[in-house]
Amino acid sequence: DLPDVVDLLHDVGVDRFCFYHLDYGGRGADISNLDLSPADTREAVRTVCDLTREYHERGEEIETLLVGNYADAGFLVEYAEEELGAERADRIHRYLEANGGDPTGERIADVDYQGNVHLTQFWQGYSLGNVRDRPFSELWTDDANPLLRGLRDRSDRLTGKCAGCRYRSICRGGSRLRALSAGGPFDPDPKCYLTEAERASGGSGDAHAD
């Protein structure tokens, strides 16, 4: 249905689209079975890429955003190499690397209405403390907090298929909240859909999404 939805919105003047992946934690993990499978997610992301490229090739400018699954970053590089060539893929990789991947614990925070500081707006089950008790600057720079320290130095802590992934620098393990719901904060994001071949050295692998 994605092509029809985008066409309909474009026809009424909408030219910026944001596609969110389901990022679940706490009780939200109870609905994880309603999420798309990795293979279906991959197909949907490819559809978004195809639609964006087709619109631009027709001279119709649209902007599309993919939010909530940093496996998309690796997929975009793979897609660009396949459809646009190695030079464009390299430019995209450098841009995504500068963007920094998953920002949890580093470049995003959430302060709720009671003053509790959370790692993201979705990670409500864990608090760094309360700004009524300690200034935000102290909570956010507290090196004594093992989770905060680990998230900021996660490269060597990521486990499983993330540990040796060639896209680790532009993904940083994906959603730490989904990883927590599946095991622990440094486990692989269960919604990563990149293939083993792509994670190891690149190369198209649509037929065998993990």
What confidence tens digit (pLDDT) does each residue in 28-75 have? 777 878 889 999 999 999 999 999 999 999 999 899 999 999 999 999
**Percentage of residues of the chain with pLDDT beyond 90:** 83
Which pLDDT score is estimated for 203? 47
Residue 165 placed within a domain: yes
Residue 111 placed within a domain: no
Contact 164, 196 (CB under 8 A): no
Residue 208 placed within a domain: no
CA distance 76 to 49: 8
Residue 124 placed within a domain: no
Residue 114 placed within a domain: no
- In DSSP terms, which residues pair with 117 in a beta bridge? 111, 129
Residue 169 placed within a domain: yes
Domain membership of residue 54 as a residue range:
1-29+36-106+149-199
Please, where are the H alpha helices in 58-142?
71-83, 86-99, 136-140
**Three-state secondary structure call for residue 29:** helix
pLDDT of residue 204 exceeding 60, the answer is: no
**Residue 24 vs residue 99, higher pLDDT:** 99
Which pLDDT score is estimated for 208? 44
Residue 144 placed within a domain: no
Residue 135 placed within a domain: no
CA distance 2 to 102: 25
Domains of the chain: total:
1
